[in-house]
Amino acid sequence: MVRLPWRSDPEEEVTEDEEGLGVAPVVSCSFQDGTIRVYEDHVHIERPDRSRFEERTIPMDEITGVEFSGGITIGYLQVRQRGFDHDSPGLLSDPVDANTVHLGRTERGCATDARDAILERATG
């Protein structure tokens, strides 16, 4: 399990496993339009109330890759999922879909950690 001390959050989401024991995410990153939490067996994307997208849970066995772009000012992290219709980036635009979150320059480090954690666990 990867624990990132500079990303510790006292309100870190803890889910319960089948035995009712708390399970903390391996990596948790808050971005402009959502929070990604990486667990051993799934990725959870939480959205703010203003978002047009719902929260999503993506099993690791459906993840085929991760697209990451640091961007000049705004970057993105897109979880590639089998059977999902992903948006593509344009010449001057980033993809916008339920599996994509957008980030500022200061959030690139956490986005890289999330990408690496997802790719280490993805089995799709």
Query: pLDDT per residue over 9-64, tens digit each?
Result: 444 555 555 444 568 999 999 999 999 999 999 999 999 999 999 999 999 999 99
Contact (Cβ atoms closer than 8 angstroms) between residue 77 and residue 114 = yes
112 pLDDT above the threshold of 70: yes
Domain encompassing residue 64: 12-121
Q: Burial-class residue 102 by CB neighbours within 10 Å (0-12, 13-18, 19+).
A: buried
| Distance separating the N- and C-terminal Cα atoms of the chain | 20
Q: Is the pTM of this model over 0.75?
A: yes
User: Is 36 part of any domain?
Assistant: yes
8 pLDDT above the threshold of 50: no
The predicted pLDDT at position 16 comes to 59
To 5 degrees, how large is the angle CA 47–CA 48–CA 52? Answer: 70
Which CATH number covers residue 53? Answer: 2.30.29
User: Is 27 part of any domain?
Assistant: yes
Domain total for the chain?
1
User: Is 2 part of any domain?
Assistant: no
* 88 band by pLDDT with thresholds 50, 70 and 90: confident
Contact (Cβ atoms closer than 8 angstroms) between residue 45 and residue 36 = yes
User: Is 4 part of any domain?
Assistant: no
* Least-confidence region, from 5-9, 37-41, 81-85, 120-124: 5-9
